[in-house]
Amino acid sequence: MKLMSGTSNPELARQIADYLDSPLTTTEIQRFSDGEIFVRIDENVRGEDIFIIQSTSHPANDHLMELLICIDALKRASAKRITAVIPYFGYARQDRKTGGRTPITAKLVANLIAEAGADRVLTLDLHAGQIQGFFDIPTDNLFVTPVFEDDINRTYKSQDLMVVSPDVGGVVRARALATRLGADIAIVDKRRPKAGQSEVMNIIGDVSGRRCIIFDDIVDSGGTLCNAATELKARGATEVAAYVTHGVLSGKAHERIRNSELTELVCTNSIAAASAGSESGKVRAISIAPLLGEAIRRIANDESVSKLFD
């Protein structure tokens, strides 16, 4: 087994390498003056089981193209098996046709990764579970729920917790966390007038006197979380925190979160930007390196990955 890192999140790749006690493969990745990407692998990988770690986060197109080029380089270097470890799978929000003459870009990206030569994909908390079916190669979708469960139990020891889904589509995700915590669940009924904007219509569930934990997979502009936190406090919640897998945190997200009713926003380090969120004063990143590292070890040894969540 060998590990290789792209440039999207080298710190996470180093943490995974430390967990597995396996050094990262020496690789040269350059960009020409016109933006073209050049990759050269400086070690022999013939017949090796290779795991390339690369999130397709901002700039999404550059990091996606870099991943494809790295896979092609490994394939042409005669690697035995290539696993694309994609902690954050970009374009996952475009998983269906939302109107006439619109693409299903998540499927397109899945095709590109498979066509480039990847034999397997390992990712974390896909925006929608059915995206696994977009890949024509084996795909393991890990869940961050056990990691967040441990952190919540250490941070919030009271018995008045309530897990809140920020929309109807996230109910299954929120219920899974609530079941592990032994907590109740509430749902935010919202509408989205247009992309990047959300409006809270109603709160389903009695949150009065409860410490609310909003649980979601992606925070981008922060509008949904901040609006939900304001409404939850107005309905009598004593405290509102948010646990989100992927901290995209684009635009004025840090400013919104800093000025919001949220006590803190906890993200994983699947995206490098989330680890640099201290400027907001409320963003905290926790590492998913042990989870990804253990999944990589199990895949390399042909062991069960699903048992990680039993």
Residue 119 assigned ligand-binding role: no
What stretches of the chain adopt beta strand conformation (E)? 2-5, 27-31, 37-41, 49-53, 81-86, 120-124, 139-142, 161-165, 184-191, 199-204, 211-219, 239-247, 265-268, 283-286
Rounded to a whole number of angstroms, the CA Rg of the chain reads: 20
Residue 222 assigned ligand-binding role: yes
- C-alpha distance from residue 167 to each of 1, 147, 170, 227 (Å): 41, 22, 6, 12
Residue 306 assigned ligand-binding role: no
- Which residue among the candidates 75, 97, 190, 233 is catalytic per the annotation? 190
Residue 167 assigned ligand-binding role: yes
Residue 192 assigned ligand-binding role: yes
Residue 127 assigned ligand-binding role: yes
Residue 58 assigned ligand-binding role: no
Residue 133 assigned ligand-binding role: no
Residue 254 assigned ligand-binding role: no
Residue 18 assigned ligand-binding role: no
Residue 211 assigned ligand-binding role: no
Residue 75 is among the residues annotated as catalytic for this protein: no
Q: Which two tokens stand for residue 84?
A: 């694309």
> Cβ distance 174 to 145 under 8 Å?
no
What are the residues whose beta carbons fall under 8 Å from the beta carbon of 34, sequence distance 6 or more? none
Alpha-carbon 66 to chain mean position: 19
- Is omega for the bond preceding 59 within 30 degrees of 0, making it cis? yes
User: Which residues belong to the annotated binding site for Mg(2+)?
Assistant: 127, 167
User: Which residues belong to the annotated binding site for ATP?
Assistant: 34-36, 93-94
Instruction: Just list the catalytic residues.
Output: 190
User: Which residues belong to the annotated binding site?
Assistant: 34-36, 93-94, 127, 167, 192, 216, 220-224
User: Which residues belong to the annotated binding site for D-ribose 5-phosphate?
Assistant: 192, 216, 220-224
